[in-house]
Amino acid sequence: MHARATAPPHVVAGFTVPRVMFQVLAALVPVAAMQVYLHGPGLLWLVATGSVTALACEALALWLRRRPSLDFLRDGSVLVTAALLALAVPPTLPWWLMAFGTAVAVLVAKHAYGGLGQNPFNPAMVGYAVLLVSFPLEMTRWPAAGAGWDAVTGATALDALRTGLRQSYTMEEILTGPAFGALGGAGGEWVNIAALAGGLYLLARRIVRWHIPLAMLAGLAIPAAVAHALDPGAHAGATFHLATGATMLGAFFIATDPVSAATSDRGRLVFGAGVGLTTWIIRSWGGFPDGVAFAVLLMNLAVPLIDRYTVPRIYGHPGA
């Protein structure tokens, strides 16, 4: 009797990268549905445009890099990139801008660095950042909250807050404006709740682990709560920050991208807290509508350093 010689272990769990990616896509369904409900079907066109562009760019890059394309094309990672970008941009964005942003994400942020597993920056956030600095007008025109499917644009809650504070309105006056809801931004709070639901699903399925989301939410909520307690007139509270903008999407779907995040448990706590704190700083004093994308990219930069100083204690070695 003869058999193939293989190295141990001879058995694996069979949980694969494509399965991870498709679980993430499934978890994005609630937040996508909420956006469509609030702002109309624009998102669906963006997802379609993004997905087609992403697959085309992936195929092109794999062909140029002479890589076996089918296994990689099927892994689903570019579809996650496209879906996250589509959810991050305003649903009124022209389709060609979505295609451009996706192409940047896949070709530059991912494949120029070596493809799956090699990118130091979150591809979707690179695409978002490039779009934001290149096309600031289109990227900040969100449909007015409550306008439903008629694409009337208006200020987002974070914009209204920033503008209101600059014009010396009191926090009470600002928060009664049309852009605000019970917790955070009108509509935005529902999107955040939907993203939280998807995120909890990922936690339950152990696709993501709790370190990054919890650290990011704490890193955002704690400084917000402290600042609000010290100066309620100038700073929105923790609840507002948690329920506004891309907070939940960022905490569970964007900052948790394992490739560009820190890798040990402690490192992930540091990374997540850094993303949360940077988000709060950008929202409080920066010039951009939301801070999540830039916070994630900045912390991506810090990952090699974090990884170097957060190696866990190894069995049989003295404690650090």
Q: Taking CB under 8 A as the rule, does residue 225 contact other proteins?
A: no
Pick 44 or 116: Cβ nearer other proteins: 116
d(Cα 217, Cα 240) in Å, to the nearest integer?
A: 12
d(Cα 264, Cα 262) in Å, to the nearest integer?
A: 6
DSSP of 270-299, one letter per residue?
Answer: HHHHHHHHHHHHHHHH-SSS-SHHHHHHHH
Pick 9 or 287: Cβ nearer other proteins: 9
Q: Pick from 13, 137, 182, 230: which binds other proteins (CB under 8 A)? A: 13
Smallest gap from Cβ 209 to other proteins, in A, equals: 7
Q: How many residues bind other proteins (CB under 8 A)?
A: 43
Q: Which of residues 106-135 bind other proteins (CB under 8 A)?
A: 115-118
Q: Taking CB under 8 A as the rule, does residue 137 contact other proteins?
A: no
- Choose the binding region for other proteins from 13-21, 56-64, 126-134, 140-148 (rule: CB under 8 A): 13-21
Residues 6+ apart with CB under 8 A from 303: 120, 260, 261, 262, 267, 271
Pick 100 or 210: Cβ nearer other proteins: 210
- 31, two tokens: 């937040």
Distance of CA 49 to the CA centre of its chain: 19
d(Cα 57, Cα 318) in Å, to the nearest integer?
A: 48
Q: Which of residues 197-216 bind other proteins (CB under 8 A)?
A: 209
Q: Taking CB under 8 A as the rule, does residue 66 contact other proteins?
A: no
Strand ranges inside the chain, DSSP E: 142-143, 153-154
Q: Taking CB under 8 A as the rule, does residue 94 contact other proteins?
A: no
**Is the distance from CB of 30 to CB of 197 less than 8 angstroms?**
yes
Q: Taking CB under 8 A as the rule, does residue 75 contact other proteins?
A: yes
The answer to whether the bond into 178 is cis (omega within 30° of 0) is no
Q: Taking CB under 8 A as the rule, does residue 166 contact other proteins?
A: no
Pick 1 or 230: Cβ nearer other proteins: 1
Instruction: List residues binding other proteins (CB under 8 A).
Output: 1-17, 19-20, 71-72, 75, 77, 115-118, 209, 258-259, 261, 263-265, 268, 307, 311-317
